[in-house]
């Protein structure tokens, strides 16, 4: 009896994200490797974390902390997070019902969106914005409402935000300190948002992953500081950014109990829970607040070192008040648009950067590119040596 011939065929799938391709970060990092360029594009450190933190992970594994932890995260870590927020921002979150440990900030953001956004709901994003926000909203069936930050200064335009609010607005995503522009929202801006949303049922997703990187005596204005915002906000932060361990993908969300309950419904079927030994390590490491309290000075020195070198080029520095990014205006250097300039800079000068146009839905080009200075001093010096040719 002969065996019937079966034709192998992969069924066609209608994409849920037709506008999404490979991220600019992946593209530029790959080009940097190909051209042996100094990669100041993708935002991650090229130096290690505190050896004490690594030892704490080893100790946790040796102590047998290798099985599933509780779904919301181990209680010791949630208690440490609550204590930090209370000490820095004056708001008390219940670690049992209002704090959830997540698989990084990206998972935290999509989980918050999936938890509260229904098909047809509108979600306001302030452009330029991190590239996961819009696809997350699309996956939830929501409608993206793009509101530009003020070109040049990247400050929120509350008239435009107010005009974008409708009865269908479910949430607004804010980000301070801001990636990619390195601006930091002021107390008056946070109060303005608080007042604007007070008569509405609009929720806030506040991306605060760079909370410990604010410079020149500035202060991070967490949504937790403002009662009217804290009552309606999912606050997102990242241990990867704070402790130089982006590859660990551990973050957290703080939110009122009612919002946390909905968040955890999605979280438990999204990742369920997060790496156990690293949670124990972070909990023990957080007993000493010195590492995150000293982070502004640590990164301000790198910012200043990098800015001093850039000042000797024809690139025009924009203010860098927070994050570990430095934006520059390329108008005096090249007639190329931002994307082509970054390709040229990587290929011909040997330094990778990211075009700000990649953070806009319509590719808005204002002749500005972003560098990351979360690098070893020798990496920054190497990049500056090459950029001196500009």
Question: Model confidence over 171-230: pLDDT tens digits?
Answer: 999 999 999 999 999 999 999 999 999 999 999 999 999 999 999 989 999 999 999 999
pLDDT tens-digit map of 12-37: 999 999 988 878 888 888 999 999 99
Query: What is the CATH code for 51-287?
Result: 3.40.640.10
Candidate from 19-28, 134-143, 209-218, 338-347 with smallest mean pLDDT: 19-28
DSSP assignment of 106-133 equals HHHHHHHHHHH--TT-EEEEEES--TTH
Which is more confident, 146 or 26?
A: 146
Number of C-beta neighbours around residue 3 at 10 A: 5
Q: Tell me if 24-43+293-387 shares its fold with 51-287.
A: no
Q: Where are the domains of the chain?
A: 24-43+293-387, 51-287
pLDDT tens-digit map of 36-73: 999 999 889 999 999 999 999 999 999 999 999 999 99
pLDDT at 3 over 80: no
Cis peptide before 139 (omega within 30 of 0): no
Q: Tell me, what's the pLDDT at 1?
A: 66
- CATH class of the domain at 24-43+293-387: alpha beta
Strand segments, DSSP code E, in the chain are 38-39, 99-102, 122-127, 143-148, 169-175, 203-207, 233-238, 251-254, 316-317, 325-329, 351-352, 354-355, 368-372
């Amino acid at each position: 009896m002969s065996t019937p011939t079966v034709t192998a065929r992969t069924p066609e799938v209608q994409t849920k994200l037709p506008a999404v391709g490979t991220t600019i970060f992946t593209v530029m990092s790959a080009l940097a490797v190909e051209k042996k360029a100094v990669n100041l594009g993708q935002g991650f450190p090229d130096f290690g974390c505190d050896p004490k933190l690594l030892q704490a992970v080893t100790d946790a594994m040796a102590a047998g902390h290798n099985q599933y932890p509780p779904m919301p995260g181990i209680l010791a870590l949630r208690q440490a997070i609550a204590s930090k927020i209370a000490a820095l921002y004056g708001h008390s979150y219940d670690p049992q019902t209002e704090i959830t440990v997540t698989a990084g900030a990206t998972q935290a953001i999509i989980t918050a969106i999936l938890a509260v956004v229904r098909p047809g709901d509108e979600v306001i994003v302030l452009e330029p914005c991190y590239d996961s926000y819009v696809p997350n909203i699309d996956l939830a069936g929501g409608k993206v409402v793009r509101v530009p930050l003020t070109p040049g200064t990247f400050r929120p335009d509350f008239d435009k935000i107010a005009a974008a609010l409708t009865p269908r607005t479910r949430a607004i995503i804010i980000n301070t300190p801001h990636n990619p522009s390195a601006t930091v929202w002021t107390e008056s801006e946070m109060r303005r948002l608080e007042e604007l949303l007070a008569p509405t049922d609009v929720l806030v997703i506040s991306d605060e992953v760079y909370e410990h990187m604010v410079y020149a005596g500035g202060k991070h204005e967490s949504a937790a500081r403002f009662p009217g915002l804290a009552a309606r906000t999912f606050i997102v932060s990242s241990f990867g950014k704070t402790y130089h361990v982006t590859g660990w993908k551990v973050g957290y969300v703080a939110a009122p109990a009612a919002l946390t309950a909905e968040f955890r419904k999605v979280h438990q079927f999204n990742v369920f829970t997060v790496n156990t030994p690293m949670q124990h390590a972070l909990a023990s490491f957080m007993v000493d607040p010195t590492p995150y309290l000293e982070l502004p000075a640590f990164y301000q020195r790198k910012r200043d070192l990098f800015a001093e070198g850039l000042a000797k080029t024809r690139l025009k520095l924009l203010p860098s008040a927070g994050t570990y990014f430095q934006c520059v205006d390329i108008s005096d250097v090249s007639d190329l648009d931002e994307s082509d300039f970054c390709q040229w800079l990587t290929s011909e000068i040997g330094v990778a950067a990211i075009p700000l146009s990649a953070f806009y839905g319509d590719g808005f080009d204002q002749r500005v590119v972003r560098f990351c200075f979360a690098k070893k001093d020798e990496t920054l010096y190497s990049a500056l040596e090459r950029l001196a040719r500009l």
